[in-house]
Amino acid sequence: MIKRFLNDTRGVTSVEYAVIIVSLSLVIVASISMVGNSVEDLLANPSRKLQETLH
């Protein structure tokens, strides 16, 4: 029974796809979070950013 379970590869492809999808989702969420923080900082105080750029 254990040998049969270890040799069964029917569900392997779906598990691999699930791992890929989860990995990509984490990368996308992390990227959006980092970009969102940058944009929020940029829009929070535009006059300060403008003064930093001009000096």
Structure-block tokens of residue 31: 């990227």
* Over residues 2-31, mean pLDDT: 82
Cβ 28 vs Cβ 35: under 8 Å: no
pLDDT in tens, 22-52: 999 999 999 888 787 777 777 777 777 777 7
The rounded distance, in Å, linking the Cα atoms of 36 and 30 is: 10
Cβ 35 vs Cβ 29: under 8 Å: no
Q: Any idea where the domains of the chain sit in the sequence? A: 2-54
Q: Which residues are within 8 A (CB) of 49 and not within 5 positions of it... i.e. 6 or more apart?
A: 42
* Over residues 1-29, mean pLDDT: 81
